[in-house]
Structure 1
């Protein structure tokens, strides 16, 4: 079991570490273009190809969609009721809800649970992405005019819709279309991890003690939400390990970028993101070990 755990966890953190090392040795590189290509092209290609190759019947996965929604939103609601000195409500709620399901979650869960689970993994990622750009932005912007429909601009939404449509209607695509999408999608996963390592260097070390305490609260809130969802909903046993790893992931780096855009205590949120990723060196192996036992 230890060897299997190391085979899953070490490659993920190794690529992140190489990204951090490269970013340190080559500072000032243009990461914006690379990230934009990943968000607008490579990751949507991964979403589309995964849903075509591993089709999901939405009717049979409604419990997973509801469970995924609840384990995202409930930790934020719990943190809204838990005042933390120095942090505004949006600044503590948004990182509690939106975890690193893309850069870290997809490669980690694929390695842990196999490519046959990629369809369900991608659905959880797309769900988190849509809620991030709707509920998350609504919280950060205070309902500012023009922000409520940003989720419709997400390429992941349209890629997921296209993939589900093709799979569920039995539409036959030329093999080269699926192969091209799959090749583009394969770029996204290592690029996510590498870019994560570079981006973490932009985080702040200020308020790191507060960040560790906040992240421990996030993990507790995520664990409570998962137990409630597990008790309430008729979940397929294969989904529970996916949800467990999801709530154990650190806050997404995107939280910091959005908080900077909407001027919602970006430096404190940067420390929270950095603290969560530091904690993940311990939390992620424990979560994967437990998830493998549940599976």
Structure 2
């Protein structure tokens, strides 16, 4: 009973806030999705990443190990899904990116924070940043037929990660007044991301639900299996291991749908994956949490 209550306390705020965003749109109220997303991804999330890294007490070597474990997990997942997609005759540009990359931002960071506290958040931002860099390069190349290194460098999240890592490595701290301001901005990130997730899902038009259900379950099994194996292979300590498994196993991100729309991939199929995998995660993530906390 205590374990059940612990898991419920972790996941309930996540899905309640996402549900708030969903209900907001269904009631017909205005939500400036583009503005909020831009503010979150260019201001709030970078501040959260920078302050979390700068203030963490985790050994930088441990964070480096988590980064390597994350990249190893995503590369292995990419190989598995690439082989599967080729075997069933689907198009790589339609399915590879959404099956590979999970919602490590909107869902993963709140789960890391609520399940493991500030230490979990520090590990979570490393996993999120490593995934984002891989997604901006390889993910864009798959969907659009070409990636952009300049785009990666210009992303505020990447700059915040590199700057935060530098401050952590050197033991530097920003002045107290600036740290407080950055923390206040960063505190916007998690509620904004969760509410925006619900808003975005409410506006999707999913297609091929049956196929989406099978792929969502398949994605979950593959991602849990690979992240679990990689985490053990790198001998990650319990919190880092739990964060890696949770982050990598999150459902398909809304950004995969936006990418599919932008580069004229099968957006309806990806929308189906976003909606169905998110619904599957309502059951799957609490069960997974019970094993990793």
TM-score normalised by structure 1 residue count: 0.93
In structure 2, distance between residues paired with 1:186 and 1:99: 22
Secondary structure of 1:249's aligned partner: coil
Mapped partners of 1:9, 1:60: distance in 2: 27
Secondary structure of 2:146's match? coil
Is 1:35 matched up with 2:37?
A: yes
Distance 2:173 2:103 in 1: 33
Counterparts of 1:261 and 1:28 in 2: how far apart (Å)? 23
- TM-superposed CA distance for 1:86, in Å, is 7.3
**2-side partners of 1:148 and 1:138: how far apart?**
11
User: Counterpart in 2 of 1:214?
Assistant: 215
The residue number in structure 1 matching 2:168 is 167
Q: Is the 8 A contact 1:77 1:93 kept in 2?
A: no
2:113 aligned with 1:110, yes or no? Answer: yes
Deviation for aligned residue 1:28: 5.5
Of 115, 119, 123, the match for 2:122: 119
Paired residues of 2:104 and 2:248 also in contact (CA < 8 A): no
SS at match of 1:131: helix
1:85 shift after superposition: 5.4
Residue 282 of structure 1 corresponds to which residue in structure 2? 283
Q: Does the CA contact (< 8 Å) of 1:44 and 1:185 recur in 2?
A: yes
Q: Show the counterpart of 1:258.
A: 259
Tell me the distance in 2 between the aligned counterparts of 1:224 and 1:99: 14
Separation in structure 2 between the aligned mates of residue 194 and residue 247 of structure 1, nearest angstrom:
21
Classify 1:11/1:231 alpha carbon distance in 2 versus 1 (closer, same or farther; 3 Å). Answer: closer
Alignment coverage as a number of residue pairs: 290
Q: Look up the match of 1:139.
A: 142
Inter-partner Cα distance in structure 2 for 1:166 and 1:206: 46
- Counterpart of 1:237 in structure 2 is 238
1:225-271: CA deviations, max 9, x gaps? 12431343232232111122123210111000011111111111111
- Equivalent pair of 1:138/1:148 in contact (CA under 8 Å): no
Task: Say whether residues 1:78 and 2:77 are aligned partners.
Answer: no
Misfit runs of 4+, over 6 Å = none
Q: Flag structure 1 segments of 5+ consecutive residues without an equivalent.
A: none
Give the CA deviation at 1:18. 0.7
Once residues 101 and 39 of structure 1 are traced to their aligned partners in structure 2, the CA distance between those partners, rounded to angstroms, is 13
> Gaps (5+ residues) in structure 2?
none
Q: For 2:71, which of 65, 69, 72 is the aligned residue?
A: 69
Structure 1: distance between partners of 2:14 and 2:61: 33
Report how far residue 123 of structure 1 moved. Answer: 0.7
1-structure distance, mates of 2:10, 2:232 = 28
CA-to-aligned-CA distance 1:112-151 (integer Å, 9 cap, x gap): 111122211111111111111111001112226xx34321
Whole-angstrom distance in 2 between the partners of 1:288 and 1:92: 27
Deviation at 1:55, TM superposition (A): 4.7
Distance 1:76 1:90, change over 3 A: farther
RMSD over aligned CA atoms reads 1.7
Distance (Å, rounded) in 2 between the aligned partners of 1:29 and 1:51: 31
* Structure 2 Cα separation of the partners of residues 11 and 187 of structure 1: 15
